[in-house]
Amino acid sequence: MEKILTKKALPQWVKTLTSYKVYFPKKEEEDRWNYVEISDEEMNLDFLNTTLPPKKLLFPQSEAFLEFAKTTENNQETLEVKEILPPEEQTAIFGVRPCDARAAWLLDEVFSGEFTDPYYWKRRNQTILVGLACDTPPSENCFCLSVEGSPCSEEGLDILLTDLGDKYFVKSLTENGEKLIHARKGLFQDAKPEDQKKAKAVQAESAKKLKRQLKDARSIASKLKGMFDSNIWDEESMSCIRCGICTYLCPSCHCFDINDEVDSVSPLKGRRVRTWDTCQFPDFTMHSSGHNPRPEKASRLRQRLFHKFQYFVENYDKFQCVGCGRCISFCPVGIDIIKVLDKVNEHGT
């Protein structure tokens, strides 16, 4: 379904969605945008991209799995363990960039399979992603085209908006997307062939403006295989200060830790919590004996790149990178995944 929505009508549409928790990007500091639950005056889609991807709304940085409490009655100890699932709340996130939506599509793979993750899927199934095609690359380091995405890719999205000046070209991609449009059908006009043409032109123009490119990403997957023991990992990781920001800002990184948080020791009361974790920290893989399969920075940079461009490709036939460029833009020491992978292309066979 293809529709037209005037920019003036956008707030009217959003206000209709009273049964939804609605998130929009919000400017929090100079150049720093974040997804927040909105109030009326903040429905602004005139932004590049958020610093933290919307991943946090599907897979929060910290979330409780269960609560536990010990009680003693007549000298009989009992332990109560209670599951805490995310609350029931229909959610709509507006202005999701196509790369970040593709990342959700990758997380869908990780949290499915033989064991499904009930926390992720509870949120994912009740969340509608309203994407915004890029009319200009949000970052100097965008390279979505190199990893099989594009400024208007649709994977992971329910609706894709394309900015046509004073109106949006609205493409509904899923049943959930239709449902959201039907909530205020009267605001939308049918798209005409020339609107579709204009949207295509905007998207094509944006693709031309991408500054960064990773050459032949598919061949990198096979070249990496032979470069596990290469000394480029030492060279390229030399400046790493193991801050982990490359992974914490990554829309597709999914590694996590599980720990118990204790409110009271006696009687015991607390909860089990999942938090984001990173392969860039040395104790991520350290056994309690002290043995560590990835003790060096080099082995951890190698893990990050192998995971995204080789292991994930082997397991799912997709890159685990959407080319958003955040890990490049925010690395405090300038480690640049494209430059490192260019070296792989250069040295690998």
- Catalog residues that contact another protein under the rule CB under 8 A: 65-66, 68, 70, 77, 79, 81, 83, 85, 110-111, 113-119, 228, 254-260, 262, 265, 268, 270, 272, 277, 279, 284-289, 291, 293-294, 299, 303, 306-307, 310-312, 314-315
Residue 56 CA to residue 323 CA, distance in Å, equals: 18
User: 58 vs 191, which CB is nearer to another protein?
Assistant: 58
Residue 23 CA to residue 72 CA, distance in Å, equals: 44
Least distance CB 45 / another protein (angstroms): 33
Q: Tell me, rounded to whole angstroms, the distance of Cα 255 from its chain centroid.
A: 12
- Residue tagged 């999205």 (tokens): 157
Least distance CB 115 / another protein (angstroms): 4
User: 105 vs 312, which CB is nearer to another protein?
Assistant: 312
Least distance CB 77 / another protein (angstroms): 7
Least distance CB 274 / another protein (angstroms): 8
User: 7 vs 272, which CB is nearer to another protein?
Assistant: 272
User: 74 vs 288, which CB is nearer to another protein?
Assistant: 288
What per-residue string of b and e applies to 203-241 under the rule 16 or more CB within 10 Å gives b?
beebeeebebebeebeebbebbeebeebebbeebbeebe
Least distance CB 130 / another protein (angstroms): 27
Closest alpha carbon to 280 in 318, 307, 310, 317: 307
Radius of gyration over alpha carbons of the chain, in Å?
A: 22
Question: What is the token pair recorded at 323?
Answer: 């080319």
Q: What is the dihedral of CA 334, 339, 340, 345, to 10 degrees?
A: 180
User: 19 vs 76, which CB is nearer to another protein?
Assistant: 76
Query: For the chain, how many residues are written?
Result: 349
User: 55 vs 294, which CB is nearer to another protein?
Assistant: 294
Least distance CB 223 / another protein (angstroms): 15
User: 201 vs 258, which CB is nearer to another protein?
Assistant: 258
Phi, psi of 25 (to 5 degrees): -70, 140
Least distance CB 233 / another protein (angstroms): 12
Helix axes of 98-110 and 118-125: crossing angle, nearest 10 degrees:
140
